[in-house]
A and B are shown apart, each in its own frame.
Chain A
Amino acid sequence: MGSVRQQPFRAAVLVLVWGWLLFLVFTPNLLVVGASVMTRDPGSFISLPLNLDAYRQLLNPLYLDVFLHSLYMAAMTTLICLLIGYPFAWALSKVPKQRQVLLIFLLIVPFWTNSLVRTYALKLLLATNGLLNNALMSLGLIEEPLKMLYTEGAVIVGLVYLLLPFMILPLYAVFDDLREDYLRASHDLGAGRLSTFIHVIVPLTLPGVLAGVMLVLLPAMGLFFVPDILGGSRNLLVGNVIKNQFLDTRNWPFGAAASIVLTLAMAFLMFAHRLSKRRIGEDGV
């Protein structure tokens, strides 16, 4: 490694990269932490003195209800994604390799397409005079159109629809690494199917489960446009609260505090993920 003078190119690259990340990642995050302990100010958004009022406000029953409801919807979303995604990833890993490529391609197409447009497509289906109601009525299954739009269920359906691929991909990765010999060894040692599943498959796929949970649970609390389009005013996410505080109510300290809680939740999940990976060994066995 040479000095700055010998390697101007290296120095330039490092300065550019560090500069960008310090200015647009590190400083902004520091600002949010700072804003969360300051006082709300109608003129300049935030002002001194420092205090923890914003965090105390998080515990206000009014907001606590919203947060718990958001957490509940996110948890249901994650659970449904896991229940659909786990067997799906398993089945996918058993498909002949050649066809897997195409199937995975079909899975990442949604990741590349506009999530707003896809949420709107769901609205087309779920509306009171929408296709699903019409289909059910013409089949004679229901007499009156069901109210599906603007409910808690619609928000959960929307979140599952948008986030399912993010659960499936990490699960597929662990199932793809799962070696047949372990399953055979477990069988040879006298374990039944259920026992093999609980003692071999579940622990070995746990990192994938946690990675999937991480990729679904947090966005499921932040994607504010889903309740805006499908949920009406009663089914808000933490993301809606943060957005309102920053763009409408202009209570920055409170919005910042809420966002820090989200970040801490992320840190916790990342920690759990690392721990689970270490438990089964670094080499991914």
Chain B
Amino acid sequence: MNRWLPRTYLTLVYLLLYVPIVVLVVFSFNESRTGYEWGGLSLRWYEALFNNRAMVQAMWNSLWLALSAATVSTLIGALTALALHRYRFRGKKVLNGMLFIVMMSPEIVLAISLLALFLLVGLQLGYVSLLLAHVTFCLPFVVITVMARLSGFDERLPEAARDLGATDFTMTRTVLIPVIMPALLAGWLLGFTLSLDDVVVSTFVSGPSYEILPLRIYSMVRVGLKPEVNALGTLLLVFSLVMLILSQWILLRSKR
């Protein structure tokens, strides 16, 4: 086959994927208020962003939520992966199936089911409901990341630990955890990003007591164009990119 045809095609699709992002970043430094003409380089939209107290509060709320959701889901996800990998128990397939369903089902289905649950048990919508929901949708991704790491693992190591008299807990702490550490970090970073970016589930399970960033952006972009969003979007973009590079670097380094 012609060699340059596939290459041109690949380049073209990548261009389409990245042009809007580049435009957003460039216009975040635009002095002009309008979204179509260039008024010179400026940081005024970044300034406006940080002078907005409600916005800064929403940023902190989002960061704290993402931090806690990532930590809890990594903890539970890692234990789930270990259980699925090491133990034989009844209903293992059901457990696997449930995780698969959480990952595959449209977010909105998960969102309304959680809203129904929280209202039924009388949980006030706010930080706690957001945390429970975010941990739930992050969980399968952590489990998969850790399982992938465990599948290439030498089964004789835990047996050796057991033969030397280690209990299950000791063996997990001294043998398994060090092995899955890179996957834990990668899973944590993924969970953090998923939580920070979520709109669909958060729309349903958040309350006025705890405003988070994506919902604030959502209410801003529904009507018209807001230059502050360009600045905020750029910041989020850089943040996610750093997280992604970090997680890939951790995974790649651990393979060597």
Do A and B form a real pair?
yes
Chain A residues at the B interface, C-beta cutoff of 8 Å: 1, 7-10, 13-14, 16-18, 20-21, 23-29, 31-32, 35, 45, 84, 87-88, 90-92, 94-95, 103, 105-110, 112-125, 127, 129-131, 134, 161, 164-165, 214, 218-219, 221-225, 228-229, 239, 242-243, 246-247, 252, 255-256, 259, 262-263, 266, 270
17 contacts between A and B (CB under 8 A): A17-B76, A28-B116, A32-B116, A45-B119, A84-B13, A90-B6, A106-B14, A113-B237, A116-B214, A119-B221, A131-B23, A221-B106, A222-B107, A228-B222, A229-B221, A239-B200, A243-B108
Q: Is the CB of A247 within 8 A of B204?
A: yes
**B32 interface residue, CB < 8 Å from A?**
no
- How many chain B residues touch A (Cβ–Cβ < 8 Å)? 80
Known: A120-B217, A130-B35, A262-B108. 11 other contacts (CB 8 A): A7-B168, A9-B168, A26-B98, A32-B113, A115-B199, A116-B218, A117-B24, A129-B36, A225-B200, A266-B104, A270-B104
Chain B residues at the A interface, C-beta cutoff of 8 Å: 6-7, 9-10, 13-14, 16-21, 23-24, 27, 34-36, 76, 79-80, 82-83, 87-89, 91, 95, 98-99, 101-102, 104-110, 112-117, 119-120, 132-133, 135-136, 139, 167-169, 172, 193, 196-197, 199-200, 203-204, 214, 217-218, 221-222, 225, 229-230, 232-233, 236-237, 240-241, 243-244, 248
Which residue of chain B lies nearest to A22 when distances are taken between CB atoms in the complex? Answer: B98
Which residue of chain B lies nearest to A247 when distances are taken between CB atoms in the complex? Answer: B204
Q: Is the CB of B112 within 8 A of A239?
A: no
Q: Contacts A114-B233, A117-B229; is A28 near B87 (CB within 8 Å)? A: no
Q: Is the CB of A88 within 8 A of B13?
A: yes
Say what secondary structure dominates the interface of chain B. Answer: helix
Q: Is the CB of B193 within 8 A of A112?
A: yes
Q: Across the interface, which residues of A come within 8 angstroms of B233, CB to CB?
A: 114, 117, 120-121
Q: Contacts A14-B83, A113-B236; is A219 near B167 (CB within 8 Å)? A: no
A225 to B221, CA, bound (A): 10
